[in-house]
Amino acid sequence: MKKIIGIILCLPVVWNAYAQQEISSLVKKAKLKMESVNDYEADGRMRTNVAFLKVPVANVKVYFKKPNKIKVKSEKGISFIPKGAVSINMGSVLTDDQFTIIDAGNDIVNGIKVRVAKLLPVDDNSDVVLSTLYIEEATNLIRRAKTTTRENGSFELEMTYGKFGGFGLPDKIIFSFNTKDYKLPKGVTFDFDDGKSIPPAEKNKSRKGRAEIVFRNYIINKGVNEAVFK
Amino acid sequence: MWSLLQIELYKISKRPRTFIAFIAIAAIVFIFQFAFKADGESYMNLMLQSVNDTFEIDKSKAINGYFMCYIILNTLLIQVPILVALVAGDAISGEANMGTLRLLLTKPVSRTQIILVKFLASFIYTVTLLIWMAITALFISLFIFGADDMIIFRVKGDESQILQITQDDIMWRYLAAFCYAAIALTVIAALAMLLSVYAENSIGPIIATVSIVIVCTVISNISVPIIDKNVKPWLFTSYLVGWKGFFYIATNQDGEPIKGSIENWGAIRNSLYILLAHIFILLGITIAVFKRKDILT
């Protein structure tokens, strides 16, 4: 009887250890998938949705080089690139193994069943405070990632995969971030008062920004010139 | 009528004060271009404020010829009324001062024709001034800073906005804005000419015009609800900056600018009607007063 009680009491501990091992292996598998990519150059269209920013859809080029070099450049015209957009490559988030992985259970992202892993950096001075990854077990693909940083606020990434899914590269990324209030002092711009004011619905829009990048094609492992990252 | 106009234009071109305006505009534009070439990024940082914390923007691209012209016009079109008044305020009073007005009226032309020709000459001077502004502020800036998309900083009600207009959607807006500015500045010319009819020397009408413009501009720019509602709509100075409306691009529901669009054409059209009404009323009064005037000089 004592043995049975002992086994029952130990079961959660054993299960927890097993789950921990399982989630670590899942994160490793997701990382391995991306490790086959040494560099890439991708063409995409970026749509920025921020309450005070009225900007057109931009054609952008995204450059990545191992271990964590990433650059988003506008092909033509001026573009407002969200600062945290450097994390659009999950490979750069998972570059080192210096984090503790905690199993946070299961969840559903866009109808897909995922495992949730929380990554805590070992280094106390790391800019990233916490990363939460939502990984699809069947494909080892990261479907959603939430990152909290010290300097650049919190970001959320949602990824949709297509023909480059084998490399862990998404066809579409939705990047959500926090924005600060933007206020110009009155009288600086000498504006024409056309009698129209901003509708209350638009005024109350949240201070959350969104950038959506739809990738057209990737050129993988063909080499990327260092100069683009400068 | 045509030969009268030619004589008027000849007289304007022979006055040194005519060229003061051209030199002043060139000097102001050059100072702006030099300042922005040297440290335009500081101005950009001031305007972008917290946006710098969230977004990466290539500021060297943002400070381009189109942006420069917008910034220069924003400042210059407040000063240009003074330069227009310099010539239009002299139209009748200058003749009276020199004692040539009586001589002019002995010619077989009606007083209405004289006023219309002098007004037309002031209008041509105003348009020439604007063409000079376009050459110095737009084309020379494009040569110095290059061309790219245009960023507009705007305060709309209580909110601030940043608008982006693509490079291929800008030039027609400038053309429309300069045409609008020509009409707006013609109101100043008409006002200066009306005051000129009452005076015997040029200083009075020029200073009076400038004073009226300054006082009305101050009232147009203070934000007091009772003035906003009851006074501002009646002041022509409230519509002088209407040219900016051509750069307020309309956006779709996702906040993306719609190419070739204007956010509020109705407001610009109404402003144009009000300015044109001012021109006709001021010109009408000028003709009426001049026809009844006892010319003693």
A2-229 has which CATH code?
2.50.20
CA distance A30 to B176: 56
Query: Distance of CA A224 to CAs A66, A68, A165, A213, Å?
Result: 10, 13, 21, 20
* Residue A72: count of CB within 10 angstroms of its CB: 22
SS3 A129: strand
Report residue A12 CA to chain centroid gap. 33
* Token duo for residue B82: 């003074």
pLDDT at B248: 93
| Nearest residue in B to A176, CA atom | B54
Cross-chain CB nearest to A78 (options B51, B151, B245) = B151
Mean pLDDT within B64-87: 87
Per-residue pLDDT tens over the stretch A99-147? 788 888 888 888 888 899 898 888 777 777 888 999 988 888 889 988 8
Q: Are A222 and A41 in contact (CB under 8 A)?
A: yes
Angstrom CA distances, B115 to A62, B88, B282, stand at: 65, 11, 12
Mutate to test the interface with A, among B59, B153, B160, B221 (most CBs of A within 10 A): B160
**Is pLDDT at A201 greater than 70 in this prediction?**
no
Say yes or no for a CB contact (<8 Å) between B163 and A54. Answer: yes
Residues of chain B contacting residue A79, judged by C-beta atoms under 8 Å apart: 57-58
| B125 — pLDDT class (breaks 50, 70, 90) | very high
Shortest alpha-carbon distance between residue A197 and chain B (Å): 5
**The predicted structure's pLDDT at residue B66:** 95
**Do A55 and B155 make contact, defined as CB atoms within 8 angstroms?**
no
Q: What are phi and psi of B157, to 5 degrees?
A: 65, -120
Question: What pLDDT was estimated at residue B189?
Answer: 93
Answer whether A192 sits within 8 Å of B248, measured CB to CB.
Answer: yes
Q: Is the dihedral of CA B16, B22, B25, B30 positive or negative?
A: negative
Q: Chain B: nearest CA to A207, how far in angstroms?
A: 12
- Which chain A residue is nearest to residue B146, measuring alpha carbons? A77
Residue-level pLDDT at B166 = 93
Average pLDDT over residues A58-76: 84
Mark yes or no for CB contact B50/A180 under 8 Å.
Answer: yes
The bridge status of strand A81-82 relative to strand A69-74 is: unpaired
Q: Classify the phi-psi angles of A70: left when phi > 0, otherwise alpha if psi is within -120 to 50, otherwise beta.
A: beta
Domain assignments of chain A as residue spans, ordered by start: 2-229
Pair B87, B196: CB distance under 8 Å:
no
pLDDT digits (tens, 9 = 90+) for B236-280: 888 988 999 999 999 988 888 999 999 989 999 999 999 999 999
Which run of H or of E encompasses B43?
A: helix B16-48
Nearest chain B alpha carbon to A178: B54
